[in-house]
Chain A
Amino acid sequence: MEVAKELLAGNRLALSRAITAIENEYEEATDIMKELYPHTGHAYVLGITGPPGAGKSTLTEKIAKAYREQGKTVGIIAVDPTSPFTGGAILGDRIRMNSLTLDEGVFIRSMGTRGSLGGLSHKTADAVKALDAFGKDIIIVETVGVGQSEVDIVKAADTTIVVLIPGMGDDIQAIKAGILEIGDLFTVNKSDLDGADKLVREINMMLDLDSLMTDWRPPISKVIASQGEGIDLLLADVGKHRQYIEGNGELARRRTKRAKDELLDILGAGIERRIKTHISDRLNGYVEQMKKHETDPYTLVNGILAEMLK
């Protein structure tokens, strides 16, 4: 199968195979990405993050439904943790999204983190590109349940929604450092439970203390994802944020930064591979010299770089 061509022609199996090639780093993945790249950049990417069990998947389903009612097509990447011990994973986000499975305007793919620590997998960004090239209007990325440091979602998403739930007690203190700083929007899910208004107040207080505050103050909404309540208001806030960052150049800046990071990442990985191959015969000799303290790694690296980059 000519995966990239079939994908661009709208073949769902080809889209699925392309994501597998990307995820497993098959040799053909580079060629697939080359063909898809010119067709990317049209989708709007929405990140959904928050602690484990906050209702991210349930909310994702309801948001996707709402966009479908507006006539938009939706791609979803749902990330769950890979066990560092066995390398296995149970990817369970789909359980909450079963009502979307038979809608041809929606494509859902589950991914394991496979060793990545930032809340996504290393290949999530490329999988998003595949959905983008396929023609999805909106792409929703659900992160793993996060604590405070898994903030890679901001690099992948245009708008990031942080989902919190009442009854987290002092947890909000603990997570404020990391994920509270990345929210373009906050939503308090499970507002049917006690403590939702208290949580809204706490988030507000936290935002008051934020010294980096720009003229966008993240709105805080209350939703009951399991009953589909509050979704319209949340989407209206997403729309406002999109308008805001489109209007003031922030979206362009975010995407420029993303492109730059991507280029440097691929360049760095390519150089590393080339250099490692180039010195593979000499590597053990160098290590021996270091062990005998005849030379040091800094001198060696300077020599190798001078030789290769002239």
Chain B
Amino acid sequence: MEKKIRVLVAKPGLDGHDRGAKVIARALRDAGFEVIYTGLRQTPEQIAEAALQEDVNVVAMSILSGAHPHLFPKVVNLLHEKGMKDVLIIGGGVIPEADIPALKEAGIAAVFTPGTNTSDVVDFIKNNVKM
């Protein structure tokens, strides 16, 4: 059996915008990945624990509400605390350009904003995932 890229698509916080997350989940499935989708309103602790139990290679978070500066880094830290050091962590949604450098500094490998072509996301994962 060939290795399959496993991705957790997660919606942290209280933000109810889930179209983007669903679009991404479907695009990743169509690219042949196994996508675990956990639905809306996940705490950073739930996301990190689900990532551990599912042994995913990628954690992909979507936020449109503006809560990313706090929530994204929190998930990164929790994943590292749990020993998930190789996991590729990416984010997307309504995220101002100005916030992106700090998120990258915090361990988010890439940030995808509105208008993103889903094939760019697929390519980024294929080129950067560690397995």
State the A residues within 8 Å of B (CB): 12-13, 16-17, 19-20, 23-25, 82-83, 86-92, 94-95, 98, 101-102, 107-110, 112, 114, 123
Residue pair B4, A112 in contact (C-beta under 8 Å): yes
Q: Provided the pairs A25-B1, A90-B25 are in contact, do residues A19 and B50 lie with their beta carbons within 8 angstroms?
A: no
Q: Which of B4, B33, B49, B54 contacts A110 (CB 8 A)?
A: B54
Q: Could you give 29 example pairs across A and B, Cβ below 8 Å?
A: A13-B52, A16-B55, A20-B55, A23-B1, A24-B4, A83-B29, A86-B30, A86-B31, A87-B32, A88-B34, A89-B29, A90-B29, A91-B34, A91-B35, A91-B37, A91-B54, A92-B36, A92-B37, A94-B38, A94-B54, A95-B39, A101-B38, A101-B50, A107-B53, A109-B53, A109-B54, A110-B34, A110-B54, A114-B4
Contact of B35 among A13, A23, A24, A88 (CB under 8 A): A88
Interchain CA distance A254-B50 in the complex, whole Å: 33
Q: Does B94 contact A (CB under 8 A)?
A: no
Q: List A contacts of B83 (CB < 8 A).
A: 13
A102 engages B46 (CB within 8 Å): yes
Question: What separation, in Å, do the CA atoms of A110 and B31 have in the docked complex?
Answer: 19
Query: Quick one: which of B69-103 are within 8 Å of A by CB?
Result: 82-84
| Nearest chain B residue, comparing its CB with the CB of A85 | B30
By a CB distance below 8 angstroms, the chain B residues around A89 are 29, 34-35
Measured CB to CB, the closest approach of chain B to A135, in angstroms, equals 15
Chain A nearest CB, measured from B123 CB (Å): 15
| B58 contacts A by Cβ under 8 Å | no
Kindly state whether residue B28 has any CB partner on chain A within 8 Å: yes
**Chain B CB within 10 A, most for which of A12, A88, A107:** A88
Question: Is the CB–CB distance between B37 and A90 below 8 Å?
Answer: yes
Q: Is B42 an interface residue (CB 8 A)?
A: yes
Are A101 and B49 in contact, CB atoms less than 8 angstroms apart?
yes
**Quick one: which of B28, B46, B82 has the most chain A CB within 10 A?**
B46
| B46: chain A residues within 8 A (beta carbon) | 98, 101-102
Q: Out of A24, A88, A95, name the residue touching B38 (CB < 8 Å).
A: A95
Point out the residue from A19, A86, A110 that lies within 8 Å of B36, measured CB to CB. A110
B1-57 residues with Cβ-Cβ distance < 8 A to A are: 1-4, 25-26, 28-39, 42, 45-46, 49-50, 52-55
By the criterion CB–CB under 8 Å, are A98 and B39 in contact? Answer: yes
Name the CB-closest residue of A to B46.
A101
- Contact status of A19 and B37, CB under 8 A, knowing A24-B1, A83-B29, A112-B4: no
Neighbour of B49 across the interface among A17, A23, A102, CB < 8 A: A102
State the CA gap A105–B120 with chains docked (Å): 39
Q: How far is the CB of A84 from chain B (nearest CB, A)?
A: 12
Evaluate contact between A12 and B53: CB separation under 8 angstroms: yes
Starting from the known contacts A13-B52, A24-B3, A102-B49, 16 additional A-B residue pairs (CB-CB under 8 Å) come to: A12-B52, A13-B82, A17-B55, A24-B4, A87-B32, A88-B28, A88-B29, A88-B31, A88-B34, A89-B29, A90-B29, A91-B54, A94-B37, A98-B42, A114-B1, A123-B1
Determine if B36 and A88 form an interchain contact, defined as CB atoms under 8 angstroms apart: no
Q: Contacts A16-B55, A102-B45, A102-B49 given; indicate if A88 touches B1 (C-beta within 8 A).
A: no
The answer to whether A90 touches B35 (Cβ under 8 A) is yes
Using A17-B55, A24-B4 as known contacts, say yes or no to A94 and B50 having CB atoms under 8 A apart: yes
Closest approach, in angstroms, between the C-beta of B86 and any C-beta of chain A? 11
